[in-house]
Amino acid sequence: MQINEAISKRRSIRKFTGELPDEENLKAIIKAGEQAPVAMGKYGSFHMTILTNKDLLNKINEKAAAFFKNPKFNPLYDAPMLIIISAEKPSPGLENSIYSSAACIVENMALEAVEQNVGACLIWGAIASIANDQDILQALNIPEGSIPCCGIVLGKSDMPYKERSIALDRIQINEVK
């Protein structure tokens, strides 16, 4: 698949069969994350946590629903896997670099999920909801001094990836010459 095709097919999959991705697919998705650019090349300051424990997934889902003040909200979409990207707390003034880098990591993973035909959805709010919950962070083995930045849910899905037309005026642009 060409990169433009993967980009035009990529979308948030929010309906999963409950089955985990095959091991080969998961390896390819993780490899894509490893190949993402990170600020200042500080790859060693990033960490992936692969979570399939249903009790912990449910706990995160409940915490996020409370965070959004909507007990019916299901922000992990019953996906069987959540991969959390965390990073060492950066020096003051460089906080945006870890979130930008984490976004590059999960976007690479999402594009590879299209290639592997694995359902994927980027997760932001649910990760924000657990950022200061020491019990959950300990249960996840997030390295001490690290901040959970974002995540991606993965799983098999019956929802197809198909090319779509996207308006090219969704983001405002100004040009300074």
CB-based contact 48:150 (threshold 8 Å): no
**Tokens 């974002």 sit on residue:** 150
- Which residue ranges form the domains of the chain, and what is each CATH number? 11-149 (3.40.109.10)
Q: Which burial class, exposed, middle or buried, applies to 106 when counting CB atoms under 10 A from its CB (0-12, 13-18, 19+)? A: buried
The per-residue pLDDT string of the chain (177 residues; one tens digit each, 9 = 90 and over) reads 788 888 888 989 999 999 999 999 999 999 999 999 999 889 999 999 999 999 999 999 999 999 999 999 999 999 999 999 999 998 888 889 999 999 999 999 999 999 999 999 999 999 999 999 999 999 999 999 999 999 999 999 999 899 888 888 899 999 999
Dihedral through CA 24, CA 112, CA 105, CA 53, nearest 10?
A: -50
Q: How far apart are the first and last CA of the chain?
A: 36
Q: Which of 11, 23, 19 is nearest to 122 (CA)?
A: 11
With b for 16 or more beta-carbon neighbours within 10 A and e for fewer, the 131-152 pattern comes to eebeebbebbebeeebbbbbbb
